[in-house]
Chains A and B, each alone.
Chain A
Amino acid sequence: MKLLFYYLIFPGFIFASVIGLLTVWLDRKVSARIQWRQGPPWFQGFADIGKLLYKEVIVPEEAFGSGFIAAPLFGLASVTLAVTILCVSLFNMSEGFIGDIIVVWYLFAIPAIALIYMGSTSGNPLSSVGVSREIKLLLAYDLPMIIVIVMIASKADSFSIRAIMDWQRINGSNISNWYGIIAFVVAISCTQAKLGRVPFDLAEAETELGSGILLELSGGVLAVYELSKAIMLFGLPIFLIILFWGKGIIGGVLLYLLIIVLLILIKNTNPRVRIDQAMKYFWGWMSGAAILAGLLAHFGV
């Protein structure tokens, strides 16, 4: 019963979606201010979701109907679970919730797989181009991030979230060392790619492909997808806070805002890259930097 409360109300679905939609608003407002415009009002995220629930859902004839509607729900459920696990550890509400960091990272990967499934069952050739790009991007950014996660877990000698946070409380946070700074740069790039934001938004919202994978979604299905994206925007910075700072709620809010501002600045100052440039970036430079960070961590710098 308590688990259901954690999953659905706090810090699960309702809490995460509220904070996530407010973060989406913050992103749009800060981007607008950078471009010297006013931005949307604070309830914009909620208005978008409400409007999408008001419209009808059109399922195209060539699409595989049940998969089309079930896949985004899977994505939403798994990302909510991941955020619940993270927040329970962060807010010290322990009752045997020894979360595994690898489990959380792959729960975050399920929405991307749901997106691939949605794109393939759409029955539209533009969606299939988006699907092929998303698959390549998923393979690309997984590698450096896994190297970073394994490096941090091996420093703390355990994969559980609680152990990583305790290790950092004792030995100083990971970011105050050289390996931490390099690994943080790698992690920020991988986060930007996972969230599907510029410069790596080539699969999802694509003006050259007429919105790519999302082409055939409408109404409630799109609302579920937008909500899962908002919850992921809330969950991934918290993931980074746990990996690199290990602080709880006290310093956590400021660090959360700092990471969000970094993501917004990267979004506003960069163009979109091609898929081969993205793969060269992740498998070349970022993997090299992650391996370098791993070696520095091994020698204790």
Chain B
Amino acid sequence: MSKEVMKDLREKLKGKIIDIVQPRKKRIYIRVEPKKAPEVIEYLFFKYKCKFCTATGMDIREGIEIIYHLAREDKNMVINVKTLVPYPNLEIKSIGKKIPAFRWVEREINEMLGVTFIGHPDMRRLLLADSFPKGKYPLRKDFKHSDVNDEDYDYERSGL
């Protein structure tokens, strides 16, 4: 069954992806450029009928690597779409514009890692407090606890 999935995806997504590997029986990793990521994901979500699980972001030296995890339960596969958004402009087109399921996780990646999602309809803080200073991104590797002092918190914005 997994061989069919690999063949299918390799044909349909020919010109849009960098490469596609299957390191284990139930996992497929597709690497794409940030410009092509929305097309590939929309194809997988609408035409190939995958379900969206979550998205993760990690700060590596060249940029921020975002992996979108999608699943097909009937074929027992988890399909991961990897993109590398390079420093210094961290911008990628937002998928939350068309598919509402992606909106919250894009808000979280934006506030924690500093990636701008172009076209997102509702970019607000999700988990961090509104009084946390802007411009500081806690989950980056060069963030230290001493970067944010007590004076930087702006409680006027906390809504109380």
Touch between A and B in complex, CB under 8 Å? no
Chain A residues within 8 Å of B, Cβ to Cβ: none
Chain B residues within 8 Å of A, Cβ to Cβ: none
